[in-house]
Amino acid sequence: MATESSDAPEPYPEFLDHVRRVSYLNDAGSVLGWDQQVTMPEGGTPARSKQSAALSSVTHDLLTDEHVGEWLADLDGDDLSPDQRAVVREVRREHERATSVPEELVSEISETASNALPVWEQAKADDDFEAFAPTLEEMVELKREYAAAIDPDRDPYAVLFEEYEPYLGLDTAERVLERLRDELVPLIEEIEASDVDLADPFTGEYDPDTQEELVRAALDELGYDWDRGRLDTAPHPFSSGTQFDARVTTRFDPEDPLGALGSTIHEFGHATYTLGLPDDQYGTPLGESRDLSVHESQSRLWENHVGRSRAFAD
């Protein structure tokens, strides 16, 4: 393929091998995060937070290694293929941001986020925001510090926004969201004020085992690749993984069976996009998702345009 070393000038082959190591470590960190939310014993957080912090530090060290900067300088303007130029461009962007952030801060953010998870889960179960507020404040301050390290002269939210949407201007996102607010809020208020009763065909309670049978059947119908995925439960549904292992989670509310079905199809959309990434580009930017908007567009497409359609229900 175009990213391989056989058709690339020096020092691209060595550079690409290094990039893949960074990617593999990032993916290992994602597996640790999945495990903490799905299968890890409740008492495992003190160790998991240290493990996640250590892995984040090692990954950061590799990404900010001086050799990466040298390789990027050597490859600037070289006769690279379009795919190779894309890899260099994406790694340069990540490298330049990462070199501005102290390794100690990266480690602290990772450890604090891991320790925050059980606090959030308990506060959510108790419907007690105040119990989580101090932890949230700590995370916000750490993220502000992170943004200031990258660019102290810009709005920290704009800096952090680029972590998820590197090529979508914040002004564009704000314009889209403002239009949605301006048009959707009055529509919702009009519906609420009308005398039309919305359909509510589900009454009573539906046990989790029955709901799981339903969502598994839905995943089968949608073509979920069970050889490269699995279904579990989590306090808040999410999907994570790679094109070789894209997992989904859901949750079951006895009084809301459609909630589990909708969230499962939503996460299936994320997983389907991930599973569709090119296998032969795994470990490079060309084998990763484009950005959060593209990812979310796929989950919403499957959840709303397919999962809520009459054809799917029939």
Same domain for 211 and 240, yes or no, is yes
In the predicted model, what is the mean pLDDT of residues 145-160?
97
Q: What is the mean pLDDT of residues 270-295?
A: 96
pLDDT at 62: 98
Residue 219 pLDDT exceeds 70: yes
The pLDDT value given to residue 5: 56
Are 210 and 194 part of one and the same domain? no
Mean pLDDT of 61-83: 93
Same structural domain, 210 and 147: no
Residues 53 and 148 in one domain: yes
Same domain, 19 and 128: yes
Question: Domain check: are 177 and 240 in the same one?
Answer: no
Q: Which of 146, 165, 184 is the last residue of a domain?
A: 165
Q: Are residues 24 and 155 in the same domain?
A: yes
For residues 269-297, average pLDDT: 96
Give 242-268 pLDDT, tens digit per residue: 999 999 999 999 999 999 999 999 999
Tell me the per-residue pLDDT of 111-145, one tens digit each, with 9 for 90 and over.
Answer: 999 999 999 999 999 999 999 999 999 999 999 99
What percent of the chain clears pLDDT 70, i.e. is strictly above it?
97
Q: Which of 12, 117, 110, 13 is nearest to 59 (CA)?
A: 110
Residue 3 has pLDDT above 70, yes or no: no
Pair 63, 135: CB distance under 8 Å: no
Residue 10 is predicted with a pLDDT of 86
More confident residue, 117 or 77: 117
| Residue 51 token pair | 């493990």
Which residues are 241's β-sheet partners?
A: 246
User: What was the pLDDT predicted at 233?
Assistant: 97
pLDDT digits (tens, 9 = 90+) for 278-290: 999 999 999 999 8
Residue 197 has a pLDDT of: 84
Q: Which of 111, 267, 288, 303 is catalytic?
A: 267
The whole-number pLDDT of residue 56 equals 98
223 in the same domain as 132: no
- Confidence label for 77 from pLDDT (cuts 50, 70 and 90): confident
42 included as an active-site residue: no
Same domain as 173, residue 139: no
* Total tally of structural domains belonging to the chain: 3
What range does the domain containing 181 cover? 168-198
Q: Does 145 share its domain with 178?
A: no
What would the mean pLDDT of 98-113 be, rounded to a whole number? 98
Q: Write down the pLDDT at residue 48.
A: 98
Mean pLDDT (the chain) is 95
Same domain (yes/no): 288, 302 = yes
More confident residue, 118 or 314: 118
Name every residue whose Cβ is closer than 8 Å to that of residue 63 and which is 6 or more positions away in sequence. 22, 94, 95, 98
Q: How confident is the model at residue 4 (pLDDT cuts 50, 70, 90)?
A: low
Q: Is the pLDDT of residue 2 over 60?
A: no
**Could you tell me if 251 and 286 lie in one domain?**
yes
Q: How far apart are CA 29 and CA 241, in angstroms?
A: 10
